[in-house]
Structure 1
């Protein structure tokens, strides 16, 4: 039987200006059944959601409701701008 207090370890990779707000590459330990949205709250980068943050889970775009599993890689991609 799995422990109720199980934890998952997730690798987080940040790009662009997000690298200045959080560590570029880090491991985050979360409660089991955590979502992408929960991870974003823990990292305190919710403001980026209104600015067009794209999140990839194991190389594929994902929804905020996507569940995280042990060993997942989450890439945080801020909107691209420039001219």
Structure 2
């Protein structure tokens, strides 16, 4: 179930997952983060109660790489403690710089 931290106004749905069964999400990366990781789109397996922070740690981002990251789930900006659901699309958005 999507928590209140997400900005979206979509109806909430409850999805029952078994702790033992992994489910997939899609993780998207952009800019220098995509270059550093070597991929822009990747299927990632999660279990029940997996948060955005859990995924970020599991893909091996250093604390420096995590600095300033924004997160979007299914197109809506979210905080890192949001729990993910099967089929979610998680975008890892690096800070934008320039002039």
Q: Please indicate, yes or no, whether the TM-score normalized by the shorter chain is above 0.5.
A: yes
TM-score (normalizing by structure 2): 0.75
Unaligned stretches of 5+ residues in structure 2: 1-15
Return the alpha-carbon distance in structure 2 between the equivalents of residues 6 and 26 of structure 1: 19
Name the structure with the higher strand share.
1
- Select 2:36's aligned residue among 5, 17, 21: 21
Q: Unpaired runs of 5+ in structure 1?
A: none
Distance in structure 2 (CA, Å) of the matches to 1:66 and 1:79: 20
Misfit runs of 4+, over 3 Å: 1-4
